[in-house]
Amino acid sequence: MTPLLSVQDLSKSFGSIKVTNNLSFDLRHGEALGILGPNGAGKTTLFNLISGDLSSDSGRILLEGRDITRLPAYKRCGAGIGRSYQVAQPFGGMTVFENLAVAAMFGAGQTRAQAHDSSVEILRRTALLPKANQLAGTLTLLDRKRLELARALATRPQVLLLDEIAGGLTEKEAGQLVEMVNEIRSDGISIIWIEHVVHALIAVATRLLVINFGSKLAEGTPREVMQSPEVQRVYMGIEAQHA
């Protein structure tokens, strides 16, 4: 079966620093892939390459067998790649509902009526419906994280890229977010999640990929990866060793 997303020998350098180094992996339909790596490993750069925020130096990215390597970000979004950002950047002067409607109309190409209906449904699923008319710039950290997730869903993605959405949250708040992400995956959306809160990641991921200095260090089931001596060495002193 053709992978939903295939990253093939992807490389990216900034000057003499190679941030992504011939990296390859596949994402299957309905899968949740967790990505681990120390700070500076190239995780967010990888997301930027997949979403089109950055162009690669070499390699290919295929979505359902179609080469999207040279497509601009807005066309990748329209093709089915949605993402959240590590630092939430909503339109602060717009309401929560308006943030979603913009994403639905310009990301998913919906009409105003379609955007209204889909936005209401997503707000309900992400526990933001009571705050639909609140300005996005006044939200708490948890609700900004929820809004990042909701805006990504409004673009109707096949592949959802989540960049450290549990960061900065309490254990209880992270648990609420995990429940939402698992519900999203149960609806058939495939997920790639970068996260340092390892217990949250393992509660969702069916497979883990560990990268270091832009290269693949380990890949496999969460149990296999977390028991790897090399992964434990790289994560010495980081939360992963206690997962």
The predicted-structure confidence for 21-53, as pLDDT tens digits, reads as follows 999 999 999 999 999 988 888 999 999 999 999
160: Cα separation from own chain's centroid: 5
Residues 136, 179, single domain; the answer is: no
85 domain residue, yes or no = no
Residues 110 and 152 occupy one common structural domain: yes
- The residue among 139, 156, 173 that closes a domain is 156
Range of 122's domain?
Answer: 90-156
Decide: 204 and 182 in contact? Cβ < 8 Å.
Answer: yes
Domains: count for the chain: 2
On whether both 69 and 18 belong to a single domain, the answer is yes
Question: Mean pLDDT lowest for which of 100-104, 150-154, 211-215?
Answer: 211-215
Q: 201 and 127 share a domain?
A: no
Same domain, 144 and 161: no
Q: What confidence tens digit (pLDDT) does each residue in 171-204 have?
A: 999 999 999 999 999 999 999 999 988 889 999 9
109 plus 213 within the same structural domain: no
136 and 161 co-located in one domain? no
Residues 147 and 192 in one domain: no
Q: What are phi and psi of 135, to 5 degrees?
A: -65, 135
**5-14 and 58-63 as β-strands: parallel, antiparallel, unpaired?**
antiparallel
For residue 1, name the pLDDT band (cuts at 50, 70, 90). confident
Q: 243, 199 in Cβ contact below 8 A? A: yes
